[in-house]
Structure 1
Amino acid sequence: MSRFLIALFFVSLTFMGRAETAPSTEKDSSAINEEIIEDKINELEKPLYNPFVERYVLDELKQLRVELAAQKAELIQQIVDRQINSIDRGVTYATDTVTYFFYLIAAASSVLVLVGWNSIRDIKDRVHSLADEEIARLVKEYEERLFMIEKQLNQKTRHIKENKEEIELTQEIQSLWLRAGQDNNIHNKITIYDQILKLKPEDCEAITYKADAVLELNEPQWAANLCHQALAIDPENSHAFYQLACAYASLDRPDEAMQYLNEALKRSDTYKENLLSDEALTPLKDLPEFQELTTS
């Protein structure tokens, strides 16, 4: 549509001179002119307005660049002016501050001299001594703070090291427990429990499990000694009481075995499930007290 209007404009300019000589009121001439214009437009192979549009766009771009350059120069000038004003204010403030400071010192010195305190040299020495004392106080304070920080860092480092060692020890003990659970050889289990006790001598669980393994080797007295060792570390260890009952049952000491078995059941009811199936308690099965425990 725009191409048609532009072409119509240029063709109308071409025939404007001719139209001025003909009477403008005649309808036939107008119709002929429109047909001629339409034929001219249909005969066009390329648009006539491209150079004009390109020229218009170039002029607009040029004008836009000029305006942008002017705006940039104005903005730079404003920034520079503001920076210069800021620097001027800073220099003025610093100069005024130093001037007022020296005025204050001069006034104070004059007052002190007039009053008769000391001379200017004495005032200077006093100022230096006060400054040295203040600096020494600050240095001492910061040294104390640094010492406290260093002490805290050393404590944290020691705690981290202890935690790391504890984690490594726990991992090593855990791996030994896994080996003991997977190994079916009693002697190997006892060796593994000894390794655990070497790493952690007061591990009651390792002592009681070692007592259990020793009972399987038919060493009830050894097992009883281990259980007493565990109870010396943890007097409320129910597993130690149970293993001690098994050991005394094997030693044919039923009264003591029943005493320790009652102590184990008093602390944990889970051992009732093993009373009839545990071969170490077989010598106690005929006792009324044992039968009462199994039936209750």
Structure 2
Amino acid sequence: MFLSFCFLIISFAVSAQVTDQPAHDGEPTEDVRTRLTPFMERYMLDELKALRMEMAGFQVSVKEEVVQKELAVADKAMSYANITVTYFFYLLAGAASVLAIVGWQSLRELKKNAREYAETQMRQITDTYERKLKQIERELQRKTKVIAENYREIERFQEIHALWLRASQEQSPQAKMDIYDQILRIKPGDLDALTHKADAALMMNERQWALSLCNRVMQVDPQNAHALYQRACAHAGVGHEEQALADLELAIQRNVHLRNVAAEDEEFEPLRQHPRFVELTHDGHEPGQGDGGPDGRKSS
């Protein structure tokens, strides 16, 4: 192919020389230009095509060779990395084996001690919080109980207060007695209710009953002036003059206001002329000053 190309070039050179020669006499003076025949053009195109195909094949072969070189380099790099990692794992396995042989027992003891210490600390913390929670729970229960008791006490106080208001508005001794009984059912042993009940018994001429009620109060509170006064009234009504005067004296000592009340109380009518009664009720008494007994009984 190369020889053909050279032959073609030589042909072009010869044709050029022929055209450069001067024209003979009698021939046209214009230059005769050589023109390529179709065969020559076809031949030249085929040669150029073959040359281009040869260059393309050469380029492909060069690329393939470069790729093969790169693959070889990458393969060697992977091989080196694999060998390095393998040696590293061998080294790590050897170190682990040595550690397992030398310090396995120590590691077990360390792990055991750490677990025991953690369990001990957790147990202590848990016990502490359990004690605190139980203490808080007991305190809450106590406060809840106190609140409930206070609430019940308030309700009971309101109910008792309403009953006292009803008793103050009642005119019948029997109705008063019933109300005082309700108060005693709500609050057993209430001294005020017992003394007022004794007063209602006196109003009903139940003096023995009044004495019994006053004695119950005196067993709890021997210094109760109201109970002493009511018992003095009851003793006077049943004819126990000395006992009536003794209780009246004690009552006046504890509450001087009772002196004026006794001076006009109709329950002491049997003692009105008794010198000791006059002496007890005379000091500081002005006629008309008393307006009734401590329980609301009108004096005569």
Q: Same fold (TM over 0.5)?
A: yes
| Residue of structure 1 in register with 2:118 after alignment | 131
Deviations 1:234-293 (A, max 9, x none): 111110000000000000111110010011011110101212221001111110001111
2:182 is aligned, of 192, 195, 200, to 195
The one-letter code matched in structure 1 to 2:142 is: Q
The one-letter code matched in structure 2 to 1:158 is: K
The one-letter code matched in structure 1 to 2:154 is: I
Shift of 1:118: 5.6
Map 1:1-296 → 2, pairs under 5 A: 119-296=106-283
Query: The residue matched to 1:242 in structure 2 has which SS?
Result: helix
Query: The residue matched to 1:276 in structure 2 has which SS?
Result: helix
In structure 1, distance between residues paired with 2:212 and 2:180: 15
In structure 2, distance between residues paired with 1:158 and 1:215: 42
CA contact (8 A) 1:202 1:233 kept: no
In structure 1, distance between residues paired with 2:250 and 2:150: 36
Q: CA distance change for structure 1 residues 125 and 279 in 2, over 3 Å: closer, same or farther? A: same
In structure 2, distance between residues paired with 1:225 and 1:237: 15
In structure 2, distance between residues paired with 1:214 and 1:267: 23
Shift of 1:117: 11
Query: The residue matched to 2:196 in structure 1 has which SS?
Result: helix
Query: The residue matched to 2:264 in structure 1 has which SS?
Result: coil
Query: The residue matched to 1:274 in structure 2 has which SS?
Result: helix
Q: CA distance change for structure 1 residues 237 and 117 in 2, over 3 Å: closer, same or farther? A: farther
Over the matched positions of the two proteins, sequence identity in percent amounts to 42
CA contact (8 A) 1:193 1:207 kept: yes
In structure 1, distance between residues paired with 2:232 and 2:104: 96
Q: CA distance change for structure 1 residues 117 and 267 in 2, over 3 Å: closer, same or farther? A: farther
Where in structure 1 do 4 or more consecutive aligned residues deviate above 4 Å?
none
In structure 2, distance between residues paired with 1:283 and 1:221: 17
Unpaired segments ≥5 residues, structure 2: 1-98, 284-300
Deviations 1:199-225 (A, max 9, x none): 111111110111111101111111011
When normalised by structure 2's length, the TM-score is: 0.59
Shift of 1:121: 2.2
Deviations 1:6-63 (A, max 9, x none): xxxxxxxxxxxxxxxxxxxxxxxxxxxxxxxxxxxxxxxxxxxxxxxxxxxxxxxxxx
In structure 2, distance between residues paired with 1:150 and 1:133: 25
Higher helix proportion (structure 1 or 2):
1
Of the structure 1 ranges 234-243 and 121-130, higher mean CA displacement relative to structure 2 is found in 121-130
